[in-house]
Amino acid sequence: MSALILEARDLELRFGGVQAANGASLKVHANERIAIIGPNGAGKTTFINLCTGYLKPQAGRVFFGGSDITALSPRAITRLGVGRSFQIPQLFLENTVIENLLLALSARERTWSPFLRLDRHPKTEEMWALLDIVGLKDAGRRVVRELPEGMRKLIDIAVALALEPKLIFMDEPTSGVSSHEKFQVMDTLTRALDARATTAIFVEHDMDVVARYASRVAVWAGGRIAHEGTPDEILNHPEVRETVIGVGV
């Protein structure tokens, strides 16, 4: 298997009475497409928050590229090359789609000159190309606030991709998309990830999507990864079928 790029080791986090993470461990290798599945409220989003520095574990460590990032801020972790999209898209709603991407581009390139206009960024074309890949080129000049949830989810992912991360976490990338468009969306996303050799971890509730796009599946139950394997192994696992897929879909 290719190089280990992220490792979560025995993460623990309790919110009051809720044990959201209870010895959660996961190893991620370069170019994997890991799907995390599990019931609602199980702690999948919390796991992403722990890995990206938004939440700090009460025990356990997170390593990225061999170094310990447990204590780092989301900002520092992002700069190391970890991107993320959110379950509820986190965008600059009053700005246009292309401005959202250009701001990400400026962050990546550290182009903060007060004499440069954002809309005249020398690499603007690159962002239009990215929008084209995710099929949003026509919406580029629209204000995000006016756009439907499904599009916002894609923009949220595009913003993360604009940073050219080595690893991206996507929290339910297809949740705002109608079921007959899910494959299409995942096809475009997979193409974008492949083109950039970006490793991806995504939370997903749709087992058809999981079966088709994941290289590995991790089942989140009881605050940890309870089962791991290929989509075939996991989706046919009797216990997983009963506890996760039976109620989770």
Partner 1 sequence: MARQLIIGAGLLAALIIFPLLSPWSTVILTVALCEGLAALGILVLLRAGQVSFGHGLYFAFSAYVVAFMAAARFGHEVLILVPVATAASGLLAALVGLFVVRYRAIFFGMLNLAISMVFFSLLEKLFSITGGADGKRVPRPTLAGISLERAEFELWIFYITLGLAVLAALGVARYLLSPGGKALEAIKSNETRLEYLGVSSRKVLFGAYVLSGLLAGLGGAVIALVSGHVTPELAYWVRSGEFVFIAILGGVGGVVGPFLGALMFQIIRGYAAVYAPETWHAVLGVMLLVIIFFAPNGLYGLMTGRKPAGTGQ
Ligand X SMILES: Nc1ncnc2c1ncn2[C@@H]1O[C@H](COP(=O)(O)OP(=O)(O)OP(=O)(O)O)[C@@H](O)[C@H]1O
Q: How far apart are CA 17 and CA 33, in angstroms?
A: 33
- Shortest distance, CB of residue 40 to ligand X, whole angstroms? 4
Q: How far is CA 223 from CA 18, 81, 194, in A?
A: 9, 26, 30
Q: How far is CA 84 from CA 52, 73, 125, 176, 225, in A?
A: 8, 14, 23, 17, 20
Per CB under 5 A, does 175 bind Mg ion? no
Per CB under 5 A, does 87 bind Mg ion? yes
Per CB under 6 A, does 15 bind ligand X? yes
Of the candidate spans 84-92, 131-139, 188-196, 197-205, the one that interacts with partner 1 by CB under 8 A turns out to be 84-92
- Shortest distance, CB of residue 131 to Mg ion, whole angstroms? 26
Size of the site for Mg ion (CB under 5 A): 3
Matching residue, tokens 């974008």: 192
Closer Cβ to Mg ion, 8 or 130, answer by number: 8
- Shortest distance, CB of residue 160 to Mg ion, whole angstroms? 16
Q: How far is CA 206 from CA 125, 182, 186, 220, 222, in A?
A: 34, 9, 12, 15, 20
Q: How far apart are CA 129 and CA 29, in angstroms?
A: 28
Per CB under 8 A, does 119 bind partner 1? yes
Q: Residue 197 has what DSSP assignment?
A: T
From partner 1, ligand X, Mg ion, none, which one binds at residue 20 (CB under 5 to 8 Å depending on kind)? ligand X
Q: How far apart are CA 70 and CA 85, in angstroms?
A: 19
77 to 106: interface string for ligand X, x by CB under 6 A? ----------x-------------------
Binding residues for ligand X, rule: CB under 6 A, are 15, 18, 20, 38, 40-46, 87
